[in-house]
Amino acid sequence: MGREGGWWHDGGVSFPTATELRNSADAALAACGAAPLADGPHPARTPITGAVLGGVAATVDGSTAVTRATAAFAAWRTVPAPVRGELVRRLGAQLRTHKADLARLVTLEVGKIESEALGEVQEMIDICDFAVGLSRQLQGFTIASERPGHRLMEQWHPLGPTLVITAFNFPVAVWSWNAALALVCGNPVIWKPSELAPLSALATHALFEQAAAGMDLPADLNQVVLGDGAVGAQLVADERVSLVSATGSTPMGRKVGAAVAARFGRSILELGGNNAAIIAPSADPELVVRGVTFAAAGTAGQRCTTLRRLIVHRSRADEVLARLSTAFASLPVGSPLAKETLVGPLITRKSYDTMQAALSTAVSQGGSVLVGGDRHLADIAPDAAYVRPAIVAMPGQTAIVHDETFAPILYALTYDDFDEAVALHNEVPQGLASSIFTTDLREAERFMSPAGSDCGIANVNIGPSGAEIGGAFGGEKTTGGGRESGSDAWKGYMRRTTNTVNYSNALPLAQGVEYG
């Protein structure tokens, strides 16, 4: 074991000391204008070593946050949308300045490698750019009226306080997808971040406050509420919250959706994914290896769009699985602070135990582990969970393959004809992201047709992960049906009003009705 550049090394894998980790977190927090770690009630942990970095002070309670957001909405909804867009533009400028600082907190809190953490903050910058343009394009339609001397049109108005519940795996980007749109649409935001990522949320909020400084805007346009699931449930049940956007597991989404529907609120649900890639006979092998490896192993398999099922044509199965096994075996696993690392830690030891249970179940259902699944670096970081991504050849789509295990397990299945592949693809309950690798134009078009993939995202010759902000993000079935980010997802954050203006001297009724 040696020491280079302030980090502990073992076999080329970097590990910091506890003091260095805390100092790094405090430095990044300070750079963003947030308070340093202290002895607060909310612990901040790092999956890099499994240690507690320190505590975070209590934030505003949920009920108070909703009261403040409701008051802010009364003023914010009357501010012209381009002015609201200026706030988001300034937020984007703060994110550009502090991109590396915020990315460092993401790495420390959730274990993303540097490149992925920087990419997550870049997503925030991109959605700010998108929302600034959108602030001048919140357009309704003028509709042809059947009545002479009448104009029929629709308008879009601010909806109300918006609750954003985010998961650990994208601790800041998902907030920005929602917040940037909600703010330009005229809605104050209440943010309930994952308990596993309080520092990233507080640093982002500090940057937001700096962006808002000097703009003479209503207070409390963005508030962070820390706490456990009970705090989230209280916020979800509050009738003053007009919209709940929740990202997380399908069981969590069932509870949120039911609670919001019971009070006739509105929800955007981004829940589980069990994403697949079909490997056709004509697939480019280089694209397959690169695309599948990143999609399955990136973020240690902890993306909602992670590739979890590989559906390979029988004629290509031996070749594809051999090449992928070689690639998986060569992935550098270790501290995300090391430049050479491509696979960082699972978020908790519990995640590792869940992965091992899934692998055992897969074997009991006839599966064969081709590569991976083994724990790494337990002697150096016993409280952390480093594991090599696994490929498991399955005899069919058994019960375990229908489940989403939030860990780097890729189940490999075979097929003989295209219809069989699509049927295998669609028979799982989740419907987030999908892909096909083929150079056959007919197969590509059929995959994207109404009779093809039943997911919200369908890609050709790229994996299912790595969505751009320009398109609407979300999925069907038990993924929840929500849409965030680009395209016309902004309409989910507004209410539609249909207006009829009579500029004539008569009063004709629609459908030729006579009354009088």
> Catalytic residues, which ones?
270, 304
Spatial CB neighbours of 245, under 8 Å, sequence gap ≥ 6: 162, 163, 164, 165, 178, 267, 268, 269, 270, 482, 484
Residue 198 tokens, joined = 């309080």
Residue 57 tokens, joined = 């002070």
> Where does residue 64 fall: left (phi above 0), alpha (psi -120 to 50 degrees), or beta otherwise?
alpha
CA triple 6-8-10, angle to 5 deg:
145
Residue 203 tokens, joined = 């640093």
What Cα–Cα distance (Å) separates residue 509 from each residue in 141, 142, 144, 154? Answer: 22, 19, 15, 19
Round to the nearest angstrom and report the end-to-end CA distance of the chain: 94
Alpha-carbon dihedral 223, 225, 230, 233, rounded to 10 degrees? 10
Residue 49 tokens, joined = 């070593």
DSSP E strands, 159-274? 162-165, 189-192, 222-224, 243-247, 266-270
Computed over its alpha carbons, how large is the radius of gyration of the chain?
Answer: 25
Gap between the Cα atoms of 259 and 7, Å rounded = 47
Give the H or E element holding residue 15: strand 13-15
